[in-house]
């Protein structure tokens, strides 16, 4: 990963998810044709009906979570053929919204939704990619930020290890000189525990952070929790919010990062 | 001789689906639009969550229609709590919908659908010969995204929307920048129509089709409205949104993770072509002329015309978004906090028009404002049975051609619907009434 690449072969894949991260890639309208020049995109089903589905790949970007045997098989095949596998987006990195309940009541939910047929569908509790295969790089975000994706591509092309923030959203929020929604208004803002990279989009609009990028690793969890408590916000409340996007990262009473 | 035509994994559509056609001599056996998108069951997972959290999860049903899911969710919650939003909020939401529609139609038409007509595997290959065309699509897509960013706070999964209003109302500078972009894009509109008019014709599954679309009062819109128009065999009838189940009549089928819908036993089509069929009397300005230039006879008997209908909406939305932005600038955008929310036990159902058609969110809340049940029915789920119907007609009307040509026609039918397969997969059924 740390050697420069001359027009690397690339695959862009979606497991189960909303396709938001692939959409962000297509949303790089100003860079898209340059990207297609710099990268040899060999397998991208969302964008092309002619794909090489067996060739070796220098880099695979994979979005979505693993929710079926089919997903799992697909992911293992991608891993076998790829030198660098990039978990792209919060579902791929953390499991995302489909993992919200930790898989506990899946059989019941399937029955609720599909009745007796539910038992026949190929369905399993949501897993992040790293729970199934080795992952080389994580770009989180729901969806990923365009700038972070483009910077990661540029780094890969130049042979530099991509630099992604490990500090929380609060750092970026302070840089933007936003009023603090937690301290000043007592709102349940997940900024202190959520990884930066979004330029504090939500607090910048007066909306509390909902933790869509997953947890920050470089954070003083105890201190953040004590700030929440001082504002009358219980640990359960904050854990409930954080579970929405990154359930594997959070256990009740102990918000911690499990994966760098 | 028995033969199976199969598309294992459809390209250039959002999500995971395929096509299976079983033939035995002259007899057409099973024709299936297979949906094997993983099951996320989001509606069940959001049960018990506060009303404040629901739209943020609902948005994640689908990225390309994340505005539609967010705003339909908010509309359902506001209905349940008896909240009336301000006229400015309603106008901004309508504008946000137009931004999403521009983004989604530009993506679908130029990057996903047009390559079929010109015999390219995708937009990257097309760009080598027709960079002008791909650039035109990207330019319009970017414009739609800029509307979503300015009003919704982000192009995918809007962050600036809330129950009762917006986090921050866009200021005059942002609106002026949008006006600039829209004025610029207006120059492209004729090119879009000329391009679509010049595409080779695709007409291989002609049949009577039932259409259903939301009717917005007084304008060709996507957000406001409480009534569904159904057009069937030359008759129109109206169904109140609150009685949506009498339209949808869903049932689970084994080959698809999307449930199938039928109205009085007939599959029906939703999306741009259905909207034009139901609401073309509400088009003003040059849009009527565009429909005529494309030879759109409404209601159409050719589902492939959905691509043309999207082109008409694309250029019409540029005009309307410009009008909406100018109105906001004339009135002066006023900062206003969201309407105060007083949760109460109750039910709310909302319908809107997502880019690919009718979308329903129906919720019940308990008195603390925690979600007790949710039902979400998406356009691609509504279309699933209709897609199979049109695939069957394609096979019946293409018996003399070779398998690869037939396969391409079948793929084009599915693609014309602009399916969003992530969306189509059901998340929940209503079980626990409050």
- Return d(Cα B207, Cα B232) in angstroms, integer: 12
Q: Min CA distance, B292 vs chain A (Å)?
A: 31
Taking CB atoms and an 8 Å cut-off, how many pairs form between chains A and B? 181
Q: Which of A26, A68, A109 sits opposite B44 (nearest CB)?
A: A109
- Return d(Cα A247, Cα B10) in angstroms, integer: 31
Q: With beta carbons less than 8 A apart as the criterion, state whether B428 and B375 touch.
A: yes
Q: Which two tokens stand for residue A113?
A: 């939704």
Which DSSP state fits A131? G
**Is pLDDT larger for residue A216 or for residue B287?**
A216
Asked if B53 and A210 come within 8 Å (Cβ–Cβ), the reply is yes
Q: How far, rounded to the nearest angstrom, does the alpha carbon of residue B244 sit from its chain's CA centroid? A: 17
Q: Which of B63, B138, B141 sits opposite A19 (nearest CB)?
A: B63
- Return d(Cα B304, Cα B411) in angstroms, integer: 11
Contacts B39 to A, Cβ<8 Å: 16, 67-68, 110, 113, 121, 123
Among A10, A24, A13, smallest CA distance to A66 is for: A13
Asked if A50 and B426 come within 8 Å (Cβ–Cβ), the reply is no
In this prediction, residue B155 carries a pLDDT of 97
> Helix B306-331 and helix B189-198: axis angle, to 10°?
170
- Beta partners for B158? none
What are the C-alpha distances in Å from B368 to residues A252, B45, B163, B279, B374?
23, 18, 15, 39, 16
| E strands present in B13-65 | 17-24, 27-35
Q: Min CA distance, B420 vs chain A (Å)?
A: 9
Q: With beta carbons less than 8 A apart as the criterion, state whether B33 and B414 touch.
A: yes
3-state per-residue secondary structure call for B138-180: HHHHHHHHHHHHHHHCCCCCCCCEECCEECCCCCHHHHHHHHH
Alpha helices in chain A (DSSP H): 20-26, 32-38, 69-81, 90-94, 106-114, 146-158, 169-175, 181-185, 201-204, 221-230, 235-243
- Return d(Cα B69, Cα A215) in angstroms, integer: 25
Q: Which two tokens stand for residue B19?
A: 């096509």
What are the C-alpha distances in Å from A206 to residues A174, A184, B95, B213?
13, 12, 21, 35
Would residue B25 be called left, alpha or beta, if left means φ above 0 and alpha means ψ between -120 and 50 degrees? left
Among A208, A221, A223, smallest CA distance to A250 is for: A221
- Beta partners for A75? none
Asked if A48 and B125 come within 8 Å (Cβ–Cβ), the reply is yes
**Is pLDDT larger for residue A4 or for residue B400?**
B400
The ipTM assigned to this model is 0.92
Mean pLDDT taken over chain A = 89
Label the pairing between strands B235-240 and B251-253: unpaired
Which DSSP state fits B333? P
- Return d(Cα A252, Cα A243) in angstroms, integer: 10
Whether the upstream peptide bond of residue B421 has omega within 30° of 0, thus cis, is no
Q: What are phi and psi of B187, to 5 degrees?
A: -65, -25
- Return d(Cα A206, Cα A176) in angstroms, integer: 12
Give A153-156 contacts, CB < 8 A, sequence gap 24+.
A153/A35, A153/A38, A153/A39, A156/A1, A156/A5, A156/A8, A156/A59, A156/A84
- Return d(Cα A64, Cα A95) in angstroms, integer: 8
Q: With beta carbons less than 8 A apart as the criterion, state whether B271 and B397 touch.
A: no
pLDDT band at A254 (very low <50, low <70, confident <90, very high): very low
Asked if B41 and A98 come within 8 Å (Cβ–Cβ), the reply is yes
Contacts B256 to A, Cβ<8 Å: none
Asked if B156 and A106 come within 8 Å (Cβ–Cβ), the reply is no
In this prediction, residue A250 carries a pLDDT of 55
Alpha helices in B332-420 (DSSP H): 379-396, 403-416
In this prediction, residue B16 carries a pLDDT of 85
Architecture, CATH, for domain B37-424: Orthogonal Bundle (1.10)
Q: Say whether A154 sits in a helix, a strand or coil.
A: helix
Q: Which of B14, B49, B124 sits opposite A36 (nearest CB)?
A: B124
Provide the residue-wise pLDDT of chain B in tens; the chain has 434 residues: 788 999 988 999 888 889 999 999 889 999 999 887 777 778 777 888 999 999 999 999 999 999 999 999 999 999 999 999 999 999 999 999 999 999 999 999 999 999 999 999 999 999 999 999 999 999 999 999 999 999 999 999 999 999 999 999 999 999 999 999 999 999 999 999 999 999 999 999 999 999 999 999 999 999 999 999 999 988 999 999 999 999 988 777 777 767 788 888 899 999 999 999 999 999 987 787 899 899 998 999 999 999 999 999 999 999 999 999 999 999 999 999 999 999 999 999 999 999 999 999 999 999 999 999 999 999 998 999 999 999 999 999 998 889 999 999 999 999 999 998 876 765 433 333 22
Asked if A18 and B254 come within 8 Å (Cβ–Cβ), the reply is no
pLDDT band at A256 (very low <50, low <70, confident <90, very high): very low
């Amino acid at each position: 990963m740390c050697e420069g690449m001359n027009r690397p072969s690339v695959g862009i894949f979606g497991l189960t998810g909303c396709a938001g991260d692939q959409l962000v890639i297509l949303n790089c309208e100003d860079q898209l044709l340059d990207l297609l020049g710099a990268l040899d995109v060999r397998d991208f089903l969302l964008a092309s009906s002619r794909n090489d589905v067996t060739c070796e790949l220098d880099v695979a970007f994979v979005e979505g979570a693993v929710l079926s045997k089919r997903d799992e098989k697909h992911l293992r095949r991608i891993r076998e053929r790829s030198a660098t596998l990039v978990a792209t987006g919060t579902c791929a990195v953390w499991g995302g919204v489909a993992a919200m309940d930790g898989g506990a009541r899946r059989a019941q939910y399937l029955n609720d939704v599909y009745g007796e047929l539910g038992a026949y569908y190929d369905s399993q509790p949501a897993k992040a990619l790293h729970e199934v295969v080795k992952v080389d790089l994580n770009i989180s975000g729901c969806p990923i930020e365009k700038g972070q994706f483009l910077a990661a591509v540029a780094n890969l092309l130049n042979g530099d290890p991509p630099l992604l923030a490990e500090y929380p959203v609060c750092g970026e929020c302070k840089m933007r000189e936003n009023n603090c929604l937690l301290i000043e208004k007592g709102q349940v803002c997940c900024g202190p525990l959520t990884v930066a990279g979004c330029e504090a989009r939500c607090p910048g609009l007066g909306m509390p952070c909902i933790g869509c990028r997953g947890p920050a690793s470089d954070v003083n969890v105890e201190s953040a929790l004590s700030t929440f408590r001082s504002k009358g916000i219980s640990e359960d409340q904050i854990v409930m919010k954080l579970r929405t996007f990154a359930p594997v990262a959070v256990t009740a009473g102990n918000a911690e990062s499990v994966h760098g | 001789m028995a033969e199976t035509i199969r598309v294992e994994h459809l390209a250039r559509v959002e999500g995971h689906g395929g096509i299976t056609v079983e033939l035995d001599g002259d007899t057409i056996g099973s024709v299936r639009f297979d949906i094997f998108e993983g099951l996320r069951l989001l509606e069940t997972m959001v049960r018990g969550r506060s009303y404040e959290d629901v739209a943020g999860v609902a948005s994640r049903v689908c990225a390309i229609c994340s505005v539609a899911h967010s705003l339909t969710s908010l509309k359902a919650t506001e209905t349940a709590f008896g909240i009336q939003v301000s006229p400015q909020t309603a106008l901004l939401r309508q504008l946000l919908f137009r931004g999403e529609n521009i983004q989604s139609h530009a993506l679908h038409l130029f990057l996903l659908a047009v390559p079929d007509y010109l015999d390219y595997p995708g937009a990257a290959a097309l760009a080598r010969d027709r960079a002008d065309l791909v650039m035109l699509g990207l330019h319009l897509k970017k414009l739609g995204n800029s509307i979503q960013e300015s009003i919704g706070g982000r192009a995918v999964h809007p962050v600036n929307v809330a129950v009762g209003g917006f986090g921050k109302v866009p200021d005059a500078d942002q609106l002026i920048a949008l006006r600039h972009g829209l004025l610029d894009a207006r120059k492209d509109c004729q090119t879009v129509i000329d391009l679509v008019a010049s595409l080779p014709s695709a007409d291989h599954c002609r049949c009577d089709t039932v259409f259903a679309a939301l009717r917005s009062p007084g304008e060709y819109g996507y957000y406001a409205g409480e009534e569904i128009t159904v057009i069937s065999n030359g008759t129109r009838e109206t169904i109140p949104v609150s009685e949506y189940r009498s339209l949808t009549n869903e049932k689970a089928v084994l080959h698809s993770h999307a449930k199938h819908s039928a109205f009085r036993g007939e599959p029906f089509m939703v999306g741009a072509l259905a909207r034009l069929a139901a609401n073309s009397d509400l088009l003003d300005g040059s849009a009527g002329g565009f429909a005529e230039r494309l030879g759109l006879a409404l209601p159409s008997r050719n589902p492939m015309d959905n691509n043309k209908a999207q082109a008409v909406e694309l250029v019409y939305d540029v005009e309307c978004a410009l009008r909406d932005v100018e109105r906001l600038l004339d009135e002066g955008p006023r900062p206003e906090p969201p309407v105060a929310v007083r949760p109460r036990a109750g039910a709310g159902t909302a319908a809107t028009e997502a880019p690919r058609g009718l979308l329903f969110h129906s919720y019940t809340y308990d008195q603390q404002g925690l979600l007790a049940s949710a039902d979400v029915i998406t356009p691609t789920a509504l279309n699933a049975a209709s897609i199979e119907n049109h695939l069957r007609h394609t096979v019946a009307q293409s018996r003399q051609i070779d398998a690869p040509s037939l396969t391409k026609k079948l793929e084009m039918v599915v693609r014309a619907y602009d399916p969003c397969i992530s969306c189509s997969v059901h998340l929940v059924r209503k079980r626990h009434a409050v």
